């Protein structure tokens, strides 16, 4: 539903665009420091170990494919989606719950605004865009930190150009489709699920943390399902 509405220019009125901008700012821009830190740790643990072990075996030509397989195909999308679900998914569900209990949803109806496109559409699209951009950042930081750490520890990494070339040669069109699908689809689902769970609150403030928990659990379940299906479709 949100995807269909997103393709209609009439759905992107000024209030919807304003909510979208705020969602991208909170989910994407504000999360950059934490995602970069996680990416640096993963780059140090995964990329450095991969480079070092293969160099010892004299198989440096396999560095690129392994880096692509570990970071781009799986680790990047998985970890970024986790960060966004835990950080922004709970916030979305809690915000929607508070709006429902405060009667703000009824106010939107009274003003002639359809609550679903106004609330769910910009949040779902904003989360999807943020997850995609943060995953690209995650990959770049992971590779950069891994390579820099290897050079500082005097591991036989080769030149920077060789490192970049080995990674670039290993990236296939399927890897690009895999990355896009594993970021945009779970991002959309996270926004929709958490919005729906928040709007499902009816009576008391004690329902807010319950709605947030349900939103996170169902978003994580949807994430695992999407990652599994995309991997099976893309690489089998």
Q: What is the mean pLDDT of residues 113-125?
A: 80
Mean pLDDT is lowest, of 57-66, 76-85, 86-95, 184-193, for 57-66
Q: How much is the mean pLDDT over the chain?
A: 83
Domain boundaries, the chain: 2-235
Residue 54: which pLDDT band, with cuts at 50, 70 and 90? low
For the chain, give the percent of residues with pLDDT over 90.
39
Give residue 174's Cα distance to chain centre.
Answer: 19
Cα 133 to Cα 32, 128, 179, 183, 195, distances in angstroms = 10, 9, 11, 9, 22
pLDDT value at residue 30: 93
Query: Which of 141, 145, 36 has the alpha carbon at shortest distance from 83?
Result: 36
pLDDT value at residue 157: 63
Which pTM does this prediction carry?
Answer: 0.87
Mean pLDDT is lowest, of 78-82, 96-100, 185-189, 219-223, for 96-100
Q: Which tokens sit at 123?
A: 């949040």
pLDDT value at residue 130: 95
């Amino acid at each position: 539903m949100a995807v269909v509405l997103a393709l209609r220019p009439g759905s992107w009125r000024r209030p919807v665009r304003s909510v979208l901008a705020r969602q991208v700012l909170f989910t994407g821009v504000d999360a950059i420091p934490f995602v970069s830190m996680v990416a640096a740790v993963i780059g140090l643990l995964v990329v450095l170990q991969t480079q070092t072990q293969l160099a010892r075996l004299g198989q440096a030509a396999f560095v690129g494919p392994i880096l692509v397989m570990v970071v781009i195909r799986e680790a990047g999308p998985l970890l970024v989606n986790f960060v966004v679900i835990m950080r922004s998914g709970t916030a979305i569900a809690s915000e929607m719950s508070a709006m429902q209990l405060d009667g703000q949803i009824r106010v939107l109806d009274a003003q002639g605004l359809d609550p679903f496109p106004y609330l769910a559409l910009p949040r779902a699209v904003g989360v999807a865009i943020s997850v995609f951009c943060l995953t690209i950042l995650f990959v770049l930081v992971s590779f950069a930190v891994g390579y820099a750490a290897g050079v500082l520890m005097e591991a036989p990494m080769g030149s920077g150009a060789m490192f970049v070339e080995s990674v670039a040669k290993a990236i296939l069109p399927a890897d690009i489709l895999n990355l896009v699908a594993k970021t945009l689809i779970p991002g959309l689902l996270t926004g929709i699920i958490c919005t729906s769970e928040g709007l499902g609150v009816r009576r008391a403030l004690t329902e807010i943390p319950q709605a947030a928990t349900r939103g996170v659990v169902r978003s994580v379940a949807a994430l695992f399902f999407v990652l599994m299906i995309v991997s099976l479709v893309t690489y089998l």
